[in-house]
Amino acid sequence: MKFKKILKSNIKEFREEKGLTQIELADLIGVSRQTIYYLEKGDYNPSLTLSFKIAEVLKKPLNKIFFLEPIIKSKLESLSLKEVKNIAESINIDYNRLVSLSEIDEKDLSKDFDKELLRKISTALNLEYEDTIQE
């Protein structure tokens, strides 16, 4: 089994590091401020051309700006501590074990988590198992 992943970015961090506003970055790369907002939020995957423009303006390599992150990790990290504890309780799994899922190496995924438990976790996170794990 492998994690299915989504494209994430460090655009906001690198933009702020350079002291740029969303509007300033947008002007420098020739897009709207809304495009920058959606890129930073993770709701928009840029074209390769736009990705290179962003890298050029931010003076960072593409692989430092954009990266793939497991969907489960992204979802777990978006929740509050209380929400994660409630989910762990609801599916009868130790809180620390649930949290470890966001950091686990894929080669250990099948060894540490069986398919049924991953289905329960996906459901508790309001995700479809098929959208989070690739068999």
Tell me if 70 sits within 8 A of 7, measured CB to CB. Answer: no
Q: What is the model's pTM?
A: 0.77
pLDDT of residue 61: 97
List pLDDT tens digits, range 14-28: 999 999 999 999 999
Which residue in this structure is represented by tokens 């993770």?
42
More confident residue, 42 or 36: 36
Q: Where are the domains of the chain?
A: 7-68, 70-134
Nearest to 102 by CA among 79, 127, 123, 74: 74
Question: How would residue 108 be classed by pLDDT, with cut points 50, 70 and 90?
Answer: confident
Q: What is the CATH topology of the domain spanning 7-68? A: 434 Repressor (Amino-terminal Domain) (1.10.260)
Q: What is the chain's percent helix, strand, coil content, to nearest 5?
A: 60, 10, 30
